[in-house]
């Protein structure tokens, strides 16, 4: 089941549990706007290259639409549509005043020079500048993009609309970015994990943790969990996988990964088959890479007691059922990885106010939002006698449905 089909399935199950009217259910599912644009740029060698860019704006009942822009060869409409819808529910679960959006350009950023990436970003911004904005749709970084990409979007957008730092989040600090944003998703994973373990009378200290994906989210989650006494025994990325039964030295591994563009070759652990990372012996498994990695083929072999979904849609619905039967507790992506969009909201607030926060305030507010979010999800689980994923979907869908009805938008 692809990401869009799985997201639609979870939405429909939540809508039925909530008893939503069929017309309202249908209106919540249909995107507000879908945009597809051609982006042609001159390459460094003088030739022309054309790329296709997408922006799906799913819902704005609760506020401006919000979501990342990714540069990846496999960006395609269904995936973008699913991720935009997930952002709607994720923002509602976090209880921040946003709707959902997602965008991207079908390209391989590793095959483009810095100047080509800049030209591509500026052309894409020129094509969508009239449908984004601080109070309309606020892009952010995603796979293959980063603070520099956001700086180019900000500059290009400002040529049309005047200086507007709140048009994007995830910016460089010097252009109005927020302190704490780089670690936000990983720190949110830490707070989410702590909240879940407290339900079972446990703390992170002494828990054996495996992290699949050692990019920004995975590496920050590993660092922060390690600082709290968690024992990170195995990690993987696109270059390979490393295991140490006694616990990896995470600061040293982060330094190695930064200097060598991956974990491969790290001397403080044994190299293992990356495909085995998900079924390694551990207490907590954190998938922090691509979607669909936990499926019906490997779910039965997973040994973790808790799965914290730091990636978007890492678990297929079929795998969900197998894990539930095994008694594995899955903390769903639309809650577990919402630390990033929550601190993006803080950045947007700071830009609008023209008043910047210190990092302690950012982290303190994030902790408060994450703990409140878990409490709200649990209350919904208790109300509808459902597991955490369905509790989170019910929470998000219910908040968006209420806002839709209050604004008089029902079909």
Where exactly are the structural domains of the chain? 31-164, 183-336
Q: Which CATH number is 31-164's, of 3.40.50.10860, 3.40.50.1820, 3.40.33.10, 3.30.390.10?
A: 3.40.50.10860
Nearest-angstrom CA–CA distance, 273 and 49: 38
Compute, in degrees rounded to 10, the torsion defined by CA atoms 259, 237, 141, 353.
-70
pLDDT for 305 = 97
At 242, which helix (H) or strand (E)?
strand 240-243
* 8 A C-beta contact, residue 36 and residue 352: no
Nearest-angstrom CA–CA distance, 131 and 46: 31
Nearest-angstrom CA–CA distance, 286 and 152: 33
pLDDT for 4 = 83
- 27 known member of a binding site: no
* Matching fold, domains 31-164 and 183-336: yes
- 216 known member of a binding site: yes
Residues of the chain with pLDDT under 50: none
pLDDT for 354 = 95
CB neighbour class for 356 (10 Å; exposed up to 12, middle 13-18, buried from 19): middle
Residue 137 phi/psi, 5° resolution?
-155, 125
CA distances, 273 to each of 1, 47, 236, 239, 243 (Å)? 26, 41, 9, 11, 10
Residue 396 phi/psi, 5° resolution?
-65, -50
pLDDT for 411 = 55
Q: Which residues contact 21 (CB under 8 A, 6 or more apart)?
A: 410
- CATH code given to domain 183-336: 3.40.50.720
- What's the pTM? 0.94
CB neighbour class for 41 (10 Å; exposed up to 12, middle 13-18, buried from 19): buried
202 counts as catalytic: no
Catalytic residue among 23, 43, 102, 171: 102
At 317, which helix (H) or strand (E)?
helix 317-326
CA distances, 288 to each of 32, 65, 132, 284, 310 (Å)? 29, 24, 29, 12, 5
- 255 known member of a binding site: no
- 363 known member of a binding site: no
pLDDT for 336 = 97
pLDDT for 1 = 66
- 185 known member of a binding site: yes
Which residues in 25-40 are b (16+ Cβ under 10 Å) and which e?
bebbbebbeebebebe
pLDDT for 272 = 94
Nearest-angstrom CA–CA distance, 391 and 403: 19
């Amino acid at each position: 089941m692809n990401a869009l089909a799985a997201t639609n399935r979870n939405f429909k199950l939540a809508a039925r549990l909530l008893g939503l009217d069929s017309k309202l259910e249908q209106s919540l599912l249909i995107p507000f706007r879908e945009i597809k644009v051609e982006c042609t740029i001159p390459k460094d060698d003088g030739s022309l290259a054309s790329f296709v860019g997408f922006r799906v704006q799913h819902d704005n009942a609760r506020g401006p639409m919000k979501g990342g822009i990714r540069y990846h060869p496999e960006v395609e409409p269904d995936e973008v549509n699913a991720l935009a819808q997930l952002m709607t529910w994720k923002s509602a679960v976090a209880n921040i005043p946003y709707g959902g959006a997602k965008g991207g350009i079908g390209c391989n950023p590793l095959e483009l020079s810095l100047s080509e990436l800049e030209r591509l970003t500026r052309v894409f911004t020129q094509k969508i500048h009239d449908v984004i904005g601080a109070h309309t749709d606020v892009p952010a970084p995603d796979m293959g993009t980063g603070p520099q990409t956001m700086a180019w979007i900000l500059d290009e957008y400002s040529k049309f609309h005047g200086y507007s730092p709140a048009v994007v989040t995830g910016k460089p600090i010097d252009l109005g970015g927020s302190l704490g944003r780089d670690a936000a998703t990983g720190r949110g994973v830490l707070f989410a994990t702590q909240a879940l373990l407290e339900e079972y009378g446990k703390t992170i200290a002494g828990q054996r943790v495996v992290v699949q994906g050692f990019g920004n989210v995975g590496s920050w989650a590993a660092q922060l969990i390690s600082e709290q006494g968690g024992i990170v025994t195995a990690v993987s990325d696109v270059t390979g996988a490393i295991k140490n039964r006694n616990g990896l030295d995470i600061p040293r591994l982060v330094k190695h990964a930064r200097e060598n563009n991956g974990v491969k070759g790290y001397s403080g652990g044994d190299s293992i088959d990356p495909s085995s990372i998900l079924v390694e012996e551990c207490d907590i498994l954190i998938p922090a890479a691509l979607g669909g990695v936990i499926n019906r083929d490997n779910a039965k072999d997973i040994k973790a007691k808790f799965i914290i979904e730091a990636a978007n849609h890492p678990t297929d619905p079929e795998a969900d059922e197998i894990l539930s039967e095994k008694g594995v507790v899955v903390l769903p992506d639309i809650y577990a990885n919402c630390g990033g969009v929550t601190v993006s909201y803080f950045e947007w607030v700071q830009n609008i106010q023209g008043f910047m926060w210190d990092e302690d305030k950012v982290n303190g507010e994030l902790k408060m939002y994450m703990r409140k979010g878990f409490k709200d999800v649990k209350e919904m689980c208790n109300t509808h006698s459902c597991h955490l994923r369905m509790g989170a979907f019910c929470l998000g869908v219910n908040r968006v449905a209420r806002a839709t009805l209050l604004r008089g938008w029902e079909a």
